[in-house]
Amino acid sequence: MLSASPSPDVVVIGAGIVGAACSYYLARAGMRVQVVERGFPCSGASGACEGNLVLWDKAPGAELALGKLAFECWDEVQRTLDFDFEFDRKGSIMVCANERDLEEARRTVAWLSGEGVRCRLLTPEELFEEEPALARDLPGGALFPDDAQVEPRLATVALLEAARRLGATLETEVEAQGLACSPDGRVQALRTSRGAIPTGAVVIAAGAWSSEVGRRFGVEIPIRARKGHLIVGEKSPGFIRRKLVETGYGDTVESSDAGLQVAMVAEIAKSGTVLIGSSRQITGYDTRVDPFVIQAIARRAARFLPALRQMKAVRSYAGLRPFSPDHLPLIGPVGPEGLFVASGHEGAGICESTATGLLISQWITGQPLALPGEWFDPRRFARGPGAELRVPGPAS
Ligand SMILES: Cc1cc2nc3c(=O)[nH]c(=O)nc-3n(C[C@H](O)[C@H](O)[C@H](O)COP(=O)(O)OP(=O)(O)OC[C@H]3O[C@@H](n4cnc5c(N)ncnc54)[C@H](O)[C@@H]3O)c2cc1C
């Protein structure tokens, strides 16, 4: 038996940022929490990504509401936790490549302003004043001054450490393998590679592997891995200030196409390291870097930031985003009583992790939910064709 006495109230599977946030909010709510991780913290997507907290990529309704809740949670977490995880409200700029993009930026600014998100269009002159490294022929952009950035690995470790200080425990190199339930269908224990852990609640926060964990538990969790590559450029302090994203990035996020899609994103870490993305493709669970994809990313990014052609790439890597069929995460109960899932955030899991942790803690402790539970109901896919609807939020 793996667990210390007394048994945990909740076992969280996965020590990526979503599992870390669930364990923090659950421990804060007074739960005895144990995290089991088959590798080490951040061995999944949370260790192979960027750390942007942005709202402009959220769809109207449920997704934007989750993003706004996450922003509130991040504000509170960064004020409360005694850790520097490089939280920086640096703002982001949507960069337009042509007149069509400009039209799209106009629409985005109009609807997000209506939702209370601070943003405004930038003329070409204002764009270059903000970011002098951008190509001179770009027709403009849109500024989102409240978007922020964290260092995702530090943020994950900060949430895990904060949970530990509240009594949570973390077991690494322990794989969740099965579930033991009572005859009336309640969770009784988690079976792991190092023995059973008696518990009344289990949270699957296994990122792109959540479907594999679900299968072991006899539960359908329709999450696939969506691969993304990143290039790390040499340290270039001041090269850019804000997070930069081309307008077409939203289309790659919204698309369900399995083929390769590339859109420019660029940011600079506190250390001065430049991060260049992005790619999306569904190719299984292989995280090897594909030089063809790296070249495609570099070419696209240089269209917007010509000086990149001279910048040295230090390394590149790829991670697996947990991709849900309707582009919304799965947060809430699934299968036997006591089983929950917190996964499927695709390219927004760093941003949405805090709100997800809060909602999971509210589900498990029976507190009122901060957002309607049906919006992210993991059981929505089991209801047959037509059930995979985007759930409209209050203002849409
Ligand atoms: C290139 C790239 C850029 C990105 N940029 C951003 C960004 O700027 N902003 C943003 O918000 N998001 C971004 N994302 C998305 C973000 O990285 C993910 O949504 C997020 O990290 C998912 O976190 P997670 O905890 O759900 O999954 P993961 O971090 O993958 O963690 C899952 C964990 O579960 C463990 N596990 C799996 N199976 C088992 C098992 N059976 N037993 C025990 N443990 C198990 C794994 O080892 C892993 O550590 C990006 C992703 C990529 C790939």
* Degrees, nearest 5: CA angle 121-329-84: 70
253 C-alpha to center of ligand 1: Å? 16
273 lines ligand 1 (CB under 6 A): no
Nearest alpha carbon to residue 95 among 110, 82, 103, 105: 105
What's the pLDDT score for residue 4? 54
H-state helical runs in 175-272:
210-216, 249-254
67 lines ligand 1 (CB under 6 A): no
What's the pLDDT score for residue 355? 98
| Consecutive 10-residue averages of pLDDT for the chain (396 residues) | 74 98 98 98 97 93 97 96 95 97 96 97 98 97 97 98 98 98 97 98 98 96 97 95 94 86 94 94 96 96 97 96 96 97 98 98 98 97 52 35
343 lines ligand 1 (CB under 6 A): yes
Nearest-atom index, ligand 1, CA of 216: 41
> Which amino acid, one-letter code, is at 311?
M
345 lines ligand 1 (CB under 6 A): yes
What's the pLDDT score for residue 2? 54
In this structure, which residue's CA is closest to atom 53 in ligand 1? 319
12 C-alpha to center of ligand 1: Å? 14
Our measurement of the distance from residue 73's CA atom to the centroid of its chain's CA atoms, rounded to an integer in Å, reads: 14
What's the pLDDT score for residue 256? 83
d(CA 18, CA 164): 15
Which of 71, 73, 209 is the pocket-test mutation for ligand 1 (most atoms within 8 Å of CB)?
209
d(CA 362, CA 190): 21
Does the domain formed by 92-145+224-323 have CATH 3.30.9.10? yes
Task: Convert the pLDDT of each residue in 351-370 to its tens digit.
Answer: 999 999 999 999 999 999 99
What's the pLDDT score for residue 357? 98
Nearest alpha carbon to residue 219 among 54, 2, 382, 53: 382
What's the pLDDT score for residue 254? 83
Task: Convert the pLDDT of each residue in 118-132 to its tens digit.
Answer: 999 999 999 999 999
What's the pLDDT score for residue 374? 96
In this structure, which residue's CA is closest to atom 4 in ligand 1? 49
120 C-alpha to center of ligand 1: Å? 32
Nearest-atom index, ligand 1, CA of 352: 11
203 lines ligand 1 (CB under 6 A): no
What's the pLDDT score for residue 258? 87
Which segments of the chain belong to CATH 3.50.50.60? Answer: 10-51+152-223+326-383
What's the pLDDT score for residue 226? 97
In this structure, which residue's CA is closest to atom 21 in ligand 1? 46
17 C-alpha to center of ligand 1: Å? 7
What is the topology classification, in CATH, of domain 10-51+152-223+326-383? FAD/NAD(P)-binding domain (3.50.50)
b/e per residue 138-147 (b: at least 16 CB within 10 A):
bbbbbbbeeb
d(CA 5, CA 163): 18
**Contact indicator for 268, 262 with CB cutoff of 8 Å:** no
Which segments of the chain belong to CATH 3.30.9.10? Answer: 92-145+224-323
19 C-alpha to center of ligand 1: Å? 9
Nearest-atom index, ligand 1, CA of 39: 47
What's the pLDDT score for residue 391? 37
265 lines ligand 1 (CB under 6 A): no
